[in-house]
């Protein structure tokens, strides 16, 4: 107790330095002890007045005096909660549901139909093979023109050769991959074909657990972390016969493209980062290092790197893919989805991974009725009028809309709700992320994250500690109103096209949980890609993919290769 009394006036950083001098600076213990010390500090009326100002509140002196007893008792409760071990994978008891009450979920099941490349022949050169879409690679493997072992060896060699240049690979899984590829070849040779992903090598964003391998979350404090089971997505892809060849980079704790080993590069311009946070997934797919990859999105982490790297990404409807075994950042906003070289590839991967697993309480099973030749006349298509009229809209955006019209579609104009405080609603993500990594903040191990700017996670987590719980709940109530307003705005369409940078659409649709497909739609003057986004109604992932595929089939942007890698 003498130590506690002597250091009550020391700030947290000074306290961490003091504990380091005792040889305790490298453990989580100092953060817990610091929390206990804070619990013993008595809140006074003057402290409360300053704290109220941080929360944007004003109480009279009499009101503050009345509050002191309860606030000081709360400090004891906080200390007890901080001493209780809560692993990152434990979700809050309060769960987000993107479907408003009284709405029916889709239930009709129809046959799964994908494109069959009947007369496809194996290309002569390895580079062409490396950049082929999954829908074609699967045909070569199924017809035994190509073995999984050959393809896996090719991708492992490319990962070894180009991964360091792109800084896109955290863990190469060569032995496991070759073992699984040999098993796939034996199965196929014996007549056991699991489907279009059988024998196809893929890469996992390194927030997905794979038993026996590190899952680093891109951050120094977790650099040696090994989780003793597979994430549901990893297990389902293995069941489909896909071959996991590498754990790929992500910005530290799913922010940006800076990870503990460097910055992941854009294959089209190595002076640029690949954007985040699915940085390695997008860069490796674009450079022909894997057949496809899995990424995640909370607020743009599939859309943004897919745009930067010129690949195709699917952000599914919230709740369609289990997040069990994936790092949690925001329980009410995180989604897992495929990043690939074509829209149909995304559909093939999504078909293998979607559905409830009994482990992620938000995951649901609804029919995914993919039909690559479904008539476009079956789908009601719109365009985001305000997005195309905005100052930031480009010639590429307008050309993308004209391409859609060239398919015989006359999209109906729609406008998204414009009177909601979307920037304010970002406190939902901030508060949940700070809770997910509260132990880092309390322990001082946030100092080990590579990025230490005002907008980086360490400062964001600390700042989010000052978000009042009431405001977090209020933000979610406004979110419910936003969901209703967006539902009304989309009443006449199943899918709409929008510029990727259109005002509000990215933040809004991530908050509401709507699916999106991002496709490359051209190149800037400096040779780097640009993109267009198709957004669908909740659960209309198949319809969104179908319209995006038709649009992509009318272009060739997705077939182009970054010159340094192709």
pLDDT, one tens digit per residue, over 377-423 is 999 999 999 999 999 999 999 999 999 999 999 999 999 999 999 99
Task: Please say if the pLDDT value at position 17 is more than 80.
Answer: no
The pTM of this model reads 0.92
* Residue 41 pLDDT: 76
Q: Is 11 within the bounds of a domain?
A: no
Q: Is 87 within the bounds of a domain?
A: no
Q: 395-406 vs 541-553: helix axis angle to the nearest 10?
A: 100
The total number of structural domains that make up the chain: 1
Q: Which residue has the tokens 């071990």?
A: 85
- Distance, first Cα to last Cα, the chain: 66
Q: Is 175 within the bounds of a domain?
A: yes
Q: Are 292 and 339 in contact (CB under 8 A)?
A: yes
Q: Which residue has the tokens 């198949």?
A: 542
CATH number for 485: 3.90.1300.10
Q: Is 395 within the bounds of a domain?
A: yes
Task: Please say if the pLDDT value at position 8 is more than 60.
Answer: no
Which residue in 487, 328, 507 sits closest to 425, CA to CA? 507
pLDDT, one tens digit per residue, over 497-511 is 999 999 999 999 999
Distance CA 346, CA 95 (A): 27
| Neighbouring C-beta atoms of residue 156, cutoff 10 Å | 23
Distance CA 399, CA 301 (A): 25
Share of the chain above pLDDT 70, in %: 93
Distance CA 149, CA 183 (A): 9
Task: Please say if the pLDDT value at position 37 is more than 80.
Answer: no
Q: Is 152 within the bounds of a domain?
A: yes
Which residues are within 8 A (CB) of 186 and not within 5 positions of it... i.e. 6 or more apart? none
* Residue 18 pLDDT: 44
Q: Is 47 within the bounds of a domain?
A: no
DSSP state of 221: G
Q: Is 293 within the bounds of a domain?
A: yes
- Please provide the DSSP assignment of 6-62 as one string: HTTTS-HHHHHHHHHHTT-TTSSHHHHHHHHHHHHSPP-HHHHHHHHHHTT----HH
Q: Is 544 within the bounds of a domain?
A: yes
Residue 211, domain extent = 126-356+367-420+474-559
Among all residues, which ones are annotated catalytic? 205, 277, 301
């Amino acid at each position: 107790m003498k130590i506690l009394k002597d250091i009550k006036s020391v700030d947290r950083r000074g306290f961490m330095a003091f504990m380091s001098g005792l040889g305790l600076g490298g453990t989580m213990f100092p953060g817990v002890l610091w929390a206990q010390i804070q619990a013993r500090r008595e809140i006074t009326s003057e402290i409360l007045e300053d704290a109220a100002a941080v929360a944007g509140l004003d109480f009279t002196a009499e009101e503050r005096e009345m509050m002191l007893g309860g606030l000081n008792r709360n400090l004891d409760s906080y200390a007890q909660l901080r001493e209780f071990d809560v692993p990152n994978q434990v979700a809050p008891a309060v769960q987000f549901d993107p479907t408003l009450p009284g709405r029916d979920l889709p239930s009709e099941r129809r046959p799964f139909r994908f494109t069959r490349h009947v007369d496809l022949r194996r290309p002569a050169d390895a580079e062409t093979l490396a950049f082929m879409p999954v829908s074609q690679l699967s045909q070569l493997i199924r017809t035994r023109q190509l073995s999984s072992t050959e393809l896996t060896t090719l991708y492992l060699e490319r990962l070894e050769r180009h991964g360091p240049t792109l800084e896109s690979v955290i863990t190469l899984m060569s032995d496991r991959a070759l073992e699984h590829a040999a098993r796939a070849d034996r199965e196929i040779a014996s007549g056991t074909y699991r489907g279009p992903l059988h024998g196809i090598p893929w890469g996992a964003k390194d927030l997905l657990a794979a038993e026996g391998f590190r899952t680093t979350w891109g951050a120094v404090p977790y650099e040696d972390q090994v989780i003793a089971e597979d994430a549901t997505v990893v297990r389902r892809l293995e069941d489909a016969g896909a071959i996991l060849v590498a754990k790929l980079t992500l910005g530290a704790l799913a922010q940006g493209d800076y990870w503990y080993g460097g910055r992941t590069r854009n294959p089209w311009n190595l002076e640029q980062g690949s954007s985040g946070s699915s940085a390695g997934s997008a860069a490796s797919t674009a450079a022909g290092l894997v057949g496809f990859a899995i990424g995640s999105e909370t607020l743009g982490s599939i859309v943004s790197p897919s745009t930067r790297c010129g690949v195709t990404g699917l952000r599914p409807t919230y709740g369609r893919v289990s997040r069990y075994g994936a790092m949690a950042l925001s329980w009410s906003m995180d989604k897992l989805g495929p990043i690939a070289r074509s829209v149909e590839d995304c559909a093939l991967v999504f078909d293998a991974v979607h559905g409830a697993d009994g482990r992620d309480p938000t995951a649901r099973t609804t029919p995914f009725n993919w039909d690559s030749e479904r008539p476009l006349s079956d789908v009601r298509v719109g365009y985001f009028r305000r997005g195309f009229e905005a100052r930031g809209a480009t010639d590429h955006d307008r050309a993308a809309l004209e391409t859609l019209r060239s398919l015989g579609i006359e999209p109906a104009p729609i406008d998204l709700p414009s009177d909601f405080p979307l920037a304010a609603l970002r406190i939902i993500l901030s508060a949940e992320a700070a809770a997910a990594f509260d132990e880092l903040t309390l322990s001082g191990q946030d100092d080990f994250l590579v990025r230490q700017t005002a907008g980086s996670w360490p400062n964001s987590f600390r700042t989010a500690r000052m978000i009042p719980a009431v405001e977090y709940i209020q933000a979610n109530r406004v979110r419910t109103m936003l969901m209703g307003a967006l539902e009304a705005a989309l009443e006449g369409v199943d899918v709409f096209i929008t510029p990727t940078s259109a005002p509000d659409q990215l933040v809004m649709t991530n908050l509401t949980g709507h699916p999106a497909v991002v496709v490359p739609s051209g190149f800037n003057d400096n040779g780097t890609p640009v993109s267009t986004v198709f957004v669908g109604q909740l659960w209309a992932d198949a319809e969104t993919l179908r319209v995006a595929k038709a649009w992509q089939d009318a272009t060739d942007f997705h077939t182009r290769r970054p010159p340094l890698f192709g």
